[in-house]
Structure 1
């Protein structure tokens, strides 16, 4: 398999004459997917309410300006989520995006909930995976002419790492698609540990948890498997299935091909490797970084850019001696979803780095 090109700009090179804005302008030119008149989705994660380490608005605004210079019509977008935070529906998503700095005034482009008000506005895409036959991609992404995907690289409790592939195979899907990927995560209750405190009941937005005989009970026909209930329990009474993270990564990798099939050759990827937090930007807080800033990457290949990101992050970790690798953050091998994405034809694990 041939190598994909990945372009790198190092955080170590940043200074008064070479800012992140300068670097993002250089990298944008390496991913020429925007043609005159294109409706261009700029897919970001605006951060959950309370999170402070998402990709900075000034980076996104710079990409908006570059899209306009290229003749495109940009809009910024993200999708609603399965957990009960401040991005569960389209109204809350836009509110949170505005609070975190992504407004029409600051971006000079509108922010759109890609899967609509309730997270069910989508297009069914046949993908023919080993485990996923069809996946549902959010409509505003599915119907765009091109997409620039800006991903904040960080750890993740389910996939070990969040980058471009996760942004495709989770962030571009509607609620139904997300639930399909999360299906292996439907947990059980450890009755000995459960004290019937009801905190998990209040956490679940799907009414999947109830109290029976003083103990929590999970209705798996209602459960979406996204596991925020685990964090709500101080008594370790909610137990995820064995191998659930591996199985979820497999589904994630397969699902990532959905948006690519809809926009073949029209997606450019930028990975932002700053504020390398252990948790996702979906967390309502930002924990200290597990390693120092690395820089930014751009590519036309989501698998290659993520593999290069992991290699550069692991190199940074080795230099600092803080961990052995990013796998140590959650004890999860993050290459599984990349390998399955590559198997689906999303990209290549082999790359050449141009810095």
Structure 2
């Protein structure tokens, strides 16, 4: 079976068309309206951006989706879940404050904001999936209670997932902190004692107290580690790193199983738009936005999360890389730009495994509107 993915290129083109009109036409062409029943509470799942990030999806673009959902008969709300790491989206109060500061208020988007896992990430239920890693996964309660969903994803790089698109948005974005922690299990940092200078910067940075001093180096307390990687970002000598060889594939597959749980019970009730603009090397969870690694490409729409991510991955790699960016190589069209940023990653693993477990199909047809 081939997944249909609808595509609108970046730029105004011969029609001199703006992005708002492209979003409307993509929504209609992909048949997303048919996913929404009359009176449905419809979750519009997106990422509001960590405070300081400015390449997240624009609020006035989201307004176009809100209006299309209402036209289809749905009752839309904008939603995300709280983060596992420390930051400005760790609890609902800070999360909503950040969303409002980034322009996602009702006066712009036309829809209320709901943080789906509760004030301190305690609102979740277990969903049975019976897959390789998980019998059940933990999904935010308000995501489960919505009758339909439209998933808006900003495609960009990611230091562990390779790239972030619809699958990662479903997996991490629909899980409470406890579910995010489950997905990160196995990605526990290891310490190079020879490189460690005993500065304790990592101990001070760890949000869960999972590091302790031991002689002149540090030790990871595995039972407390959440795999967030904050210790690695502050280590001045690079003494902390993940065990990429043994931990990366299980992480990717666990993440994909969570994505399956996020849409369980919503068969035929979920639509997707992937925004291939401002394609940065880092996730929007970073409190900054680095330079683009490829030129803007456009927007994709589909009702298949695997197909839309497969198409997104291929489209990014089909473009020439921007040398004045964090790309370390793979500049030529056809080369893996995400590996050009993080050579140890395999962004397509989530796509391949998503097809294996029945989340969607990696075989796609692009239809340019």
Q: TM-score per shorter chain, which class?
A: over 0.9
User: Does the alignment pair 1:341 with 2:354?
Assistant: yes
Q: CA deviation at 1:189?
A: 2.0
Contact conserved, 2:294 with 2:321, CA < 8 A, in 1? no
User: Does the alignment pair 1:11 with 2:10?
Assistant: yes
Q: 1:99–1:318: structure 2 CA closer, same or farther, 3 Å change rule?
A: closer
CA distance in 2, matches of 1:26, 1:175: 36
User: Does the alignment pair 1:22 with 2:34?
Assistant: no
CA distance in 2, matches of 1:14, 1:151: 23
Q: Tell me which residue corresponds to 1:85.
A: 87
CA distance in 1, matches of 2:14, 2:106: 29
Q: Tell me which residue corresponds to 1:264.
A: 267
Deviation readout 1:274-312 (Å, 9 max, x if unpaired): 001001001111110000000000000000000011111
Contact conserved, 1:142 with 1:259, CA < 8 A, in 2? yes
Higher deviation after alignment, 216-225 or 201-210: 201-210
Q: 1:316–1:123: structure 2 CA closer, same or farther, 3 Å change rule?
A: same
Contact conserved, 2:292 with 2:322, CA < 8 A, in 1? no
Q: Over aligned residues, Cα RMSD in angstroms?
A: 1.7
Alignment of 1:50-129 (within 5 A): 50-129=52-131
Correspondence for 1:240 among 223, 229, 242: 242
CA distance in 1, matches of 2:217, 2:301: 50
Alignment of 1:130-141 (within 5 A): 130-141=132-143
Contact conserved, 2:293 with 2:322, CA < 8 A, in 1? no
Q: How many residues matched?
A: 354
Contact conserved, 1:84 with 1:203, CA < 8 A, in 2? no
Secondary structure of the 2:164 match is: coil
CA distance in 1, matches of 2:96, 2:13: 32
CA distance in 1, matches of 2:356, 2:211: 37
Q: 1:286–1:210: structure 2 CA closer, same or farther, 3 Å change rule?
A: same
User: Does the alignment pair 1:306 with 2:309?
Assistant: yes
CA distance in 2, matches of 1:9, 1:147: 21
Q: 1:219–1:15: structure 2 CA closer, same or farther, 3 Å change rule?
A: farther
Correspondence for 1:250 among 253, 260, 267: 253
Deviation readout 1:243-299 (Å, 9 max, x if unpaired): 222221111122211012131111100000000100100111111000000000000
Q: Tell me which residue corresponds to 1:325.
A: 336
CA distance in 2, matches of 1:10, 1:267: 23
CA distance in 2, matches of 1:313, 1:125: 33
CA distance in 1, matches of 2:63, 2:208: 35
Secondary structure of the 1:184 match is: coil
Q: Tell me which residue corresponds to 1:294.
A: 297
Q: 1:16–1:240: structure 2 CA closer, same or farther, 3 Å change rule?
A: same
TM-score by length of 2: 0.92
Deviation readout 1:170-214 (Å, 9 max, x if unpaired): 111111111111102111222222223232223222122233334
Higher deviation after alignment, 263-272 or 190-199: 190-199
Contact conserved, 1:42 with 1:149, CA < 8 A, in 2? yes
Contact conserved, 2:37 with 2:73, CA < 8 A, in 1? yes
Q: CA deviation at 1:15?
A: 7.6
User: Does the alignment pair 1:196 with 2:205?
Assistant: no
Q: Tell me which residue corresponds to 1:207.
A: 209
Secondary structure of the 1:40 match is: strand
